[in-house]
Amino acid sequence: MYVYVCLCKPKSKLVEDALKDPRFADNPLVTGEPRIRFYAGMPLEVSSNEPPVGTLCVIHDKPKKITDRQRSALSLLRKSAEDRMLLRRFFLFFYFRICS
């Protein structure tokens, strides 16, 4: 459910307390195990011409606030993951061109 909200509106999503957010308050992941309260997620995009391939997210079982420094760190991790996926895509493209 969290990933769906993040992917449908491609920008970062922050839920400081899922029990207070009407989009998630009755979600089984909030009301039951693992009792998610905090969610920070950013979509992973390999190409601007394609939809996001997933999200990089952080969850916790306690409500949290995120600092600007933590938001920047999450953004750097997202960029690193996107770069690795893009490099893998290029590697596979050239590998199959050369080895075919």
For 26-67, the pLDDT digits (tens) are: 999 999 999 999 999 999 988 878 888 888 999 999 999 999
pLDDT at 7: 46
The answer to whether the predicted template modeling score (pTM) of the entire model surpasses 0.95 is no
Domain with residue 75: its CATH number is 3.30.450.40
| pLDDT at position 5 over 60 | no
CA of residue 66 relative to chain centroid, distance:
15
Query: Long-range CB contacts (< 8 A, 24+ apart) of 25-32?
Result: 27/1, 29/1, 29/2
79 Cβ contact partners less than 8 Å away, ≥ 6 residues apart: none
- In angstroms, rounded to a whole number, what is the distance separating the alpha carbons of residues 80 and 47? 14
Average pLDDT in the chain:
86
Report the number of distinct structural domains present in the chain: 1
Q: Give residue 72's pLDDT.
A: 93
CA atoms within 13 A on the CB side of 23: 13
Domain enclosing residue 45, as ranges: 2-99
